[in-house]
């Protein structure tokens, strides 16, 4: 007997995008891992073998104290991690450009009940000197208490913290009784650029909490909160449910994280995206040096899969007829161009040709 069900329609091909690495599809190896996990019944809410295996993997990646909690998205990971680390009167010091400050619609403050103390940082990176501007007022009942520092790795401007820079921030935070949280949405890109391990950028550098990214590096939709140091957070099992981040069929989330981090997929994908960004940056710099390059420059170091470039309006508009990307909100002539795990050299070269006219 043949099925009368209508065939699944195939959408029209979409153009390549440089708007965000979130626009990329899921890596085929991740889809295979999800399909492999789709067998029979398994305990819900994290009682499955895939989640148990990811817990053990986290200890190998980040150290024996590591405890991990898979969640549904990056904003949820950040809110959950910070909420678990702070009392209701706590505040978090972060860069003004931090994702938690400009891209999460106030979720840490509105959902997490956490005051953010944002500091201008020219390259998106905090330093102990910058943190000191807001690291004061402990015991003053009229001021939200600075009890954590949060850094984005990579930053929203595409720059990377080195292990030494993270260690300096961790030492300062711990000296004042504060925790250090790493928003690692693009942690893999930073590790690939610097040639270091994930642990060297987190647990070994003194960080206490990590939002471990996955979706921007080829997952269908999976992130995790990793408590790197025992006692750095409390109540996460309850808060994860309260914050709407407890997946009932968690095996499919954990299977994705295993596919990315159990082998070298995270590194292969991040390194490729970084390489495409380097190719794009080189092409833009060559264009800037040409007769047609007036007004074109790259203001920030290209240290990940992001390229920021100032572009003449006509060049940007011409390229946007074929490729999606947008202006940075705070500077109309500054554009962010993001490469992903599936960006090809041909994509990059076609974008450069469109910019050149």
Q: What is the CATH number of the domain that holds 278?
A: 3.90.1150.10
Q: Residue 19 falls within a domain, yes or no?
A: no
CB atoms within 10 A of CB 159: 24
Q: Residue 114 falls within a domain, yes or no?
A: yes
- Tell me the residue range of the domain where 293 lies: 266-356
Residues 137 and 33 in one domain: yes
Residues 327 and 210 in one domain: no
Where among 229, 264, 299 does a domain terminate?
A: 264
Residues 47 and 68 in one domain: yes
Residues 47 and 122 in one domain: yes
Please tell me the distance from the alpha carbon of residue 34 to that of residue 221, in angstroms, as a whole number: 11
Residues 40 and 93 in one domain: yes
285: left (phi over 0), alpha (psi -120 to 50) or beta: alpha
Q: Residue 17 falls within a domain, yes or no?
A: no
Q: Residue 14 falls within a domain, yes or no?
A: no
Where among 243, 264, 285 does a domain terminate?
A: 264
Residues 316 and 213 in one domain: no
Please tell me the distance from the alpha carbon of residue 270 to that of residue 187, in angstroms, as a whole number: 9
Residues 190 and 115 in one domain: yes
What integer pLDDT is reported at residue 331 of this predicted model? 85
pLDDT tens digit sequence for 50-104: 999 999 999 999 999 999 999 999 999 999 999 999 999 999 999 999 999 999 9
Element (H, E) at 171: helix 163-175
Residues 44 and 180 in one domain: yes
Residues 186 and 210 in one domain: yes
Residue whose structure tokens are 């968690």: 250
pLDDT tens digit sequence for 7-25: 566 666 677 899 999 999 9
Question: Token pair for residue 72?
Answer: 């549904």
Q: Residue 86 falls within a domain, yes or no?
A: yes
CB atoms within 10 A of CB 263: 11
Give the residue ranges of the chain where pLDDT is below 50. Answer: 1-2
Residues 252 and 287 in one domain: no
What integer pLDDT is reported at residue 330 of this predicted model? 82
Where among 264, 290, 323 does a domain terminate?
A: 264
User: Beta 67-71 vs 223-227: how paired, if at all?
Assistant: antiparallel
Q: Residue 12 falls within a domain, yes or no?
A: no
What integer pLDDT is reported at residue 1 of this predicted model? 45
Residue whose structure tokens are 């899921």: 26
Q: Residue 216 falls within a domain, yes or no?
A: yes
How many structural domains does the chain have?
Answer: 2
Using CA atoms in the order 162, 165, 166, 172, what is the torsion angle rounded to 10 degrees?
Answer: 180
What are φ and ψ of residue 60, in 5° steps?
Answer: -70, -35
Is the entire prediction scored with pTM above 0.75? yes
Please tell me the distance from the alpha carbon of residue 311 to that of residue 321, in angstroms, as a whole number: 15
Residues 209 and 289 in one domain: no
Using CA atoms in the order 166, 168, 174, 179, what is the torsion angle rounded to 10 degrees?
Answer: -20
Residues 130 and 150 in one domain: yes
Which CATH number fits the domain that encloses residue 249? 3.40.640.10
Q: Residue 258 falls within a domain, yes or no?
A: yes
């Amino acid at each position: 007997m043949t099925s009368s069900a209508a065939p699944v329609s195939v959408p029209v091909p979409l153009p390549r995008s440089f708007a965000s690495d979130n626009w990329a599809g899921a890596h085929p190896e991740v889809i295979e891992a999800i399909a492999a996990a789709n067998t029979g019944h398994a305990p819900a809410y994290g009682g499955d073998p895939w989640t148990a295996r990811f817990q053990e993997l986290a200890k190998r990646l980040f150290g024996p104290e590591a405890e991990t909690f898979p969640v549904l998205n990056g904003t949820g990971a950040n809110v959950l991690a910070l909420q678990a680390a702070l009392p209701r009167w706590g505040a978090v010091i972060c860069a003004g450009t931090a994702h938690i400050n400009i891209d999460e619609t106030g979720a840490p403050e509105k959902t997490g009940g956490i005051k953010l103390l944002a500091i201008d940082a020219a390259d998106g990176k905090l330093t102990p000197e910058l943190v000191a501007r807001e690291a004061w007022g402990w015991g003053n009942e009229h001021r939200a208490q600075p009890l954590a520092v949060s850094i984005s790795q990579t930053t929203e401007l595409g720059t990377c913290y080195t292990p030494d820079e993270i260690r300096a921030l961790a030492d300062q935070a711990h000296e004042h009784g504060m925790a250090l949280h790493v928003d690692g949405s693009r942690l893999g890109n930073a590790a690939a650029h610097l040639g270091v391990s994930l642990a060297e950028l987190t647990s070994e550098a003194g960080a206490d909490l990590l939002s471990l990214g996955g979706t921007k590096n080829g997952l269908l939709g999976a992130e995790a909160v990793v408590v790197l140091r025992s006692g750095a957070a409390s109540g996460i099992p309850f808060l994860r449910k309260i914050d709407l981040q407890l997946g009932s069929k968690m095996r499919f989330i954990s299977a994705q994280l295993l596919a990315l981090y159990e082998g070298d997929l995270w590194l292969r994908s991040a390194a490729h995206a970084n390489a495409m960004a380097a190719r794009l940056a080189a092409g833009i710099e060559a264009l800037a040096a040409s007769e047609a390059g007036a007004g074109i420059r790259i203001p920030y170091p290209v240290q990940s899969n992001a390229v920021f470039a100032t572009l003449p309006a006509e060049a940007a508009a011409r390229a946007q007829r074929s490729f999606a990307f947008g202006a940075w909100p705070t500077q109309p002539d500054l554009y962010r161009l993001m490469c992903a795990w599936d960006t090809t050299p041909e994509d990059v070269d076609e974008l450069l040709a469109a910019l050149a006219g």
